[in-house]
Each structure stands twice: as structure tokens, then as C-alpha cells.
Chains A and B, each alone.
Chain A
Amino acid sequence: MTGSVGRRGFVAGMSALFLGACNKVAESSVGKSLFEKAPGWHKAVQRSLADRMALAIEYPRSAISPTFKANGSKTVDTDFYRAQLENGFADWRLEVRGMVAKPLSLSLDEVRALPQRTQVTRHDCVEGWSAIGEWTGPQLSTLLEMAGVQDGAKFVVFRCADKYVGRQYYESVDMVDAMHPQTIVAHSLNGEALPEGNGAPLRMRIERQLGYKHAKYLAAIEVVDTLENIGEGMGGYWEDRSGYQWYAGM
């Protein structure tokens, strides 16, 4: 018995030493800088191995999962949102603004009247789970072309109506993901209007990145040249709050 406790103590002791060393590395300037750079290496290699327009897998309708898990915010806690849920989002506007020649403010009917893309794709949460659904909506590129992106624009920021644990949700991608054919502003899931828990009335689909990039309850699309002045400057809700990787392709 003492032998086994001793061995366990040894393993735990080794682990504590190793974890301490790992913490020192993680908190050093070299460690921090490597952590910041590594997602960019994945992005560079992933994008160099595939065509810029190469698609994530699209499934047949028969592959759609029995339900589509709602995660994070499952509603927007405002009187305006409750009223909009009642009246079919008749007064909801989607703005396209920032570094654009012609800012837009679109109703849901106007969003639905644009050329549409329907795709059955898999949603991968950073936690590890996946769900499959059929999404319909205009491509983000259509909206950006209508508004006319100005020279020097580098990022597209998604402004959301919801607060999660007291903070405004937002996300951002670079122009490569913004212009990708599967990047759509979805208003429907599995042929029905987007459910409340999944981001009604509009949510982003960024199919080559993890779920936290797919902003829900979308109110505005903002074209910018830097992310520094938005939120706490890291490019998204989870990036600001918990240090999640801005590039979420891995």
C-alpha cells in the first residue's frame, strides 16, 4: 500500500513540477508570442493547401442531425427583441456599414429577396461536438458588393443584438473568409425561419471555422481596417473574454 501511495505521490509530484514549468513558459514573452503566432501558421498552411474558394463538405439532406443544438445565448433579453419575435421581425434591420461606399439598411424581406444560397453543412463547436443543418441566406459577398468595400478594408465585424453573461457579442473574420462562397447570412434552418435559440432572425455561417465565429442575432455588418478599437480589441467576444484564438480553423 505504501508503495502504491508513494508511486502515486511521485507521479503527482512530477506532474506538479511539469505543470509549473509549462505555466512559466506560457507566461513568458516568448511563450505568449508563440501562442499568438501558431494559429496564423495553421491559417497560412490550410489556405495554401486549398483553393481560396474551396468548400467545406456539403451533406445530403438525409444527413441533417435530428435537432440542431443551441449554445451560448439562446435569446436576446430586450423588449424590442420580444416584440420582434411576436411580429415576425417586421422592424428588424440589418445594417452594412463602416468602410463601404454605400451603407445599407435592409429589412428581412429585402434580405430574403437577394440571390440565395442553400447549404447543408456541419457546425463544429470549439468544445468538440458537431451538428448538421441546412442553411439558407444571401452570401456575405453579395451584401459587400452591393455596399462597395473601400480600399484598405481588412476585416468584417459582425455586431450582434445579444449579450452573453452581461457582454455584447460580436465576432470578426478577414476578407478571405468574408468573400468565401459558403459564408452566408442565414435566415433559415432546415427550411424554416431561424429558431430563437439558433439566432433568429439572422446569423452568420463561416463554414471553415469553429462555432464561436458564427455570430447569431445579427444586427450589423461593419467593414473595418483594424480590430483594435472594437470591444477589447481581440476581434470577438470569446477572444476578448477568455483568450480564444481569433482564427478558429483548427
Chain B
Amino acid sequence: MKKHALSTRIWHWINLICVTVLFMSGLNISNAHRFLYWGDYGFAAEHAWMAVPRFPGWMTIPGHYNLAVARDWHILMAWPFAVGLLVMWVAMLVNGHFWRDLRTTFAEWKPAAVWHDIVQHAKFNFEHSGGKFNFLQKVAYGVVLGVFLPGMVFTGLAISPGFEPAAPWLVEVLGGRQSARTLHFLFAWGLFGFAVLHVGLVLVTGPVKQIRDMITGGKA
């Protein structure tokens, strides 16, 4: 058996392209209105809980402010992103990746065990017995696959007025349309934070082998 299943590898790289384009076009869209709100409405500084910075051209798609083209990218890439995530989840459940590698056990959540993992991680000691991932990796991948990525899809649907009649409850459980927009923004930066951590850890654990394995599959 390979270290990474074919479905994981294909999804990983497609998802990287989707998330990068969606994030950068999203920052361009953010520049159109830089206030974030909680609740159903919000259109002025006095309603806002946060004013976000204006993102420079090198961080946005396209590289200058253009709401129409940024939205073209966002509206298009939402499709491979959302469909890819759904297919990946089905594959993880069917091929056992989720149950075998990503699921955490009750024992792993005991404070002493969690502390031990944090200490070992801080010492850059990534050796761990049994299972592909250690506890912190499982939590990180679990939050990304289970909260941030699907969270992007659901909050994105919730801020689409044409989707609302199909599931008005979605807008309501997220706390209103402006709360959904705020969460869309926060989840996006959550993914950015994960990406920084993820790339950092790949760099300190043998980047050539790690990247090669995510392409060829590697040895289990």
C-alpha cells in the first residue's frame, strides 16, 4: 500500500489550486467593502466589529482591484473546490482513510497525552508509534477537513441570495447573512494559517521526499 492514496494525491493538488485562487480572488472581493459585521445587516463603520486592511495587488486576483473579474474567478473555482471536497470526503470514508488515520480516540484527548504530544512537537520530534498521524496532526487535519473547508462552502452558499430560498435555515443557523460573511472571512484566514504551518512542517521534515510522496504516493 502507498503512503498516500491516489484520490488523496489528486485532491490535494486540485484543492491547492482552488483554495489559492479562491483566497486571492476573495481578498480582491474583500477590498470592495472592508467592514465585517455580525447579524443580518451591516453597511457602515458603526455596525462593524472589524475593519480589515486593504489587501495589496500582489495578494489579490487579479493583481489590481476589479470586483467583476475577481468574482468571475470566485464563482468558477467554487465548483471544483466544493465538488472536490465532497468527492474527497466520500473517498476518505470508503477507503478507510478517515477511520484508520484521521479519527482521534478518547485516550488521545486526555490532558497528559495532549501535553506530551505538544512537548514532543515543540522538540521537532515527529516520531510516533502506531497510526500514520499523531494527535496534533489529526486535530489539524480534522479541523481543516471537517470545519474550515466545508465551512467555506456552507458560508459561501449562505451569502448567495439565490441559494437562500432553498435553505433559509442555513442563513439563520449561521447567525444571519452578515455573520455568515464574517465566518467566510475567518475560515479563509484559518485555512491560510493552516497552510503556513503545513508548509513550514513540510520544510523541516524533508520537503523533497514529502512533495515527491504526495505526487507518486510513496511507501507506506
Contacts and interface: CB of A to CB of B under 8 A. Distances in A.
B76 interface: yes
Contacts of A47: 162
A23 interface: yes
Given A18-B20, A26-B69, A209 B42 contact: no
A57 B164 CA distance: 7
A103 interface: no
B58 interface: yes
Of the listed residues A35, A69, A129, A245, the one surrounded by the most CB atoms of chain B closer than 10 A to its CB is A129
Contact of B32 (A46, A128, A238): A128
Contacts of B42: 129-130
Given A22-B61, A129-B35, A242 B165 contact: no
A49 B62 contact: no
A126 B32 contact: yes
B75 A249 contact: no
B194 interface: no
Interface string B15-59: 000001100100001101101010011111000000000000011
B189 interface: no
A101 interface: no
A210 interface: yes
A152 B90 CA distance: 44
A65 B43 contact: yes
A238 B71 CA distance: 13
A85 interface: no
A106 B67 CA distance: 37
B192 to A, nearest CB: 13
A124 B20 CA distance: 26
B88 interface: no
B109 interface: no
B159 A124 contact: yes
B140 interface: no
A116 B37 CA distance: 33
A244 B162 contact: no
Contacts of B164: 56-57, 208
Interface in A100-157: 122, 124-132
Contacts of B73: 22, 26, 35
A245 B72 contact: yes
B41 A49 contact: no
A57 B180 CA distance: 15
Contacts of A35: 72-73, 75-76
Interface string B148-180: 000000000001111111111001100001100
16 contacts: A19-B63, A22-B21, A38-B72, A50-B166, A55-B165, A124-B159, A124-B161, A125-B33, A125-B43, A129-B33, A129-B35, A238-B68, A243-B69, A245-B68, A248-B162, A250-B161
Interface of A: 12, 15-16, 18-19, 22-23, 26, 34-35, 38-39, 41-43, 46-47, 49-51, 54-57, 59, 63, 65, 69, 122, 124-132, 207-210, 238, 242-245, 247-250
Given A57-B168, A131-B41, A249-B163, 18 more contacts: A15-B58, A22-B62, A26-B62, A35-B75, A42-B162, A46-B166, A47-B162, A49-B163, A49-B167, A56-B165, A122-B177, A124-B177, A129-B35, A130-B40, A208-B162, A244-B71, A245-B75, A250-B75
